[in-house]
Amino acid sequence: MELCTFFLFMDNVLRLPLTDSTNEDAYKLALKGAEHGFGVIADSQRAGKGRLGKDWESPAGTGLYCSIIIRPKLSFVDFPKITLTAGLALCRAVENLQVDSSFGLKWPNDLYCNQKKCGGILVESSSVSCLEKDSFVIVGIGLNVNTKLDQFQLELQQKATSLLIISGEFYDLRDLYRRVHGSLLEHIHTHETKGFSCIRKEWSKRDVLFGKEMQWLTAKKTVVTARGLGIDENGQLLAKDRYGKIHAILSGDVHLAI
Ligand code: BTN
């Protein structure tokens, strides 16, 4: 990324035709002092990052790839919950498109529709050595927008969807960015001023794992099967196994049991 100050302070956003990862660009800009709400958008990414070290395929013209700098008025311990706040913000932004299908959230922050993934969020925080007043999080958002089914890689065709597949309509990526950006700042403000309980209440209405049998791998590499009970006040996913034991999951990947 070439840092161009002309672009930097126009419209609070840096638009790039191609970059490695908008999350990395936004992180560097945040370290240089870029303000709360500043965003980086790319038409495509060479090395888009997903959660848990996965790649995020980012072909030009089909998806929204953006990262927004958030300087939360929250303490460090509350930062992990921002992931859920961002997921809700993305979900609300697409709901407002008035598409005739309902969207849901798969913990911690995947956007789902018709049992398929339509988007995801990667939140990265400033290092703990950063002074609290300078701390930030980068909210990276990948949304499948104008992707046709055969444009997904073969192994994703059963698991992924896009706004185009859902609604049959093409969307303007700039307009979508404005909607997602506005929604994110609004939900962060709600989180800061009214507390996470407000976010949790709305998030829970969209929880696609609630009441479902699901599985995950523990740190000791054992597979646990349990039924989703929703999220707690810390943003952890709760699940009850067949022995009645309640598990609280703070990170990792969970799947619906098959
Ligand atoms: C996931 O579901 O695993 C999270 C995907 C996040 C992808 C977005 S695309 C824009 C931003 N830049 C990145 O490198 N990743 C995020």
Residues 193 and 238 in one domain: no
**Burial class of residue 205 in the structure, from the number of CB atoms within 10 Å of its CB (0-12 exposed, 13-18 middle, 19+ buried):** exposed
Tell me, what's the pLDDT at 4?
46
User: Could you tell me the mean pLDDT of each successive run of 10 residues in the chain, 258 residues long?
Assistant: 49 94 98 96 97 92 96 91 97 95 95 97 87 89 97 93 97 97 98 97 97 91 94 96 93 80
| Sign (positive or negative) of CA dihedral 177, 139, 75, 36 | negative
Domain end residue (candidates: 183, 204, 225): 204
Domain count, the chain: 2
| Most informative mutation of 16, 23, 177 for ligand 1 (most atoms within 8 A of CB) | 23
Q: In what order do the strands lie in the sheet with 237-240?
A: 246-249, 237-240, 223-231, 213-217, 254-256
Q: Is the pTM of this model over 0.75?
A: yes
Domain residue limits at 248: 213-256
Nearest atom (ligand 1) to Cα of 141:
8
Tell me, what's the pLDDT at 1?
54
Tell me, what's the pLDDT at 130?
73
Residues 135 and 199 in one domain: yes
Residues 190 and 230 in one domain: no
Residues 121 and 238 in one domain: no
Residues 131 and 17 in one domain: yes
Residues 126 and 192 in one domain: yes
CA 78–ligand 1 middle distance (angstroms): 21
Is the distance from CB of 69 to CB of 52 less than 8 angstroms? no
Residues 43 and 111 in one domain: yes
| Most informative mutation of 137, 141, 156, 254 for ligand 1 (most atoms within 8 A of CB) | 141
Tell me, what's the pLDDT at 252?
77
Residue in this structure with the two tokens 């791998």, named with its chain if needed: 217
| Most informative mutation of 18, 46, 65, 159 for ligand 1 (most atoms within 8 A of CB) | 65
Tell me, what's the pLDDT at 6?
44
Residues 57 and 183 in one domain: yes
Query: Where residue 162 sits, what CATH number does that domain have?
Result: 3.30.930.10
Residues 222 and 172 in one domain: no
Residues 158 and 226 in one domain: no
Tell me, what's the pLDDT at 142?
98
Residues 217 and 92 in one domain: no
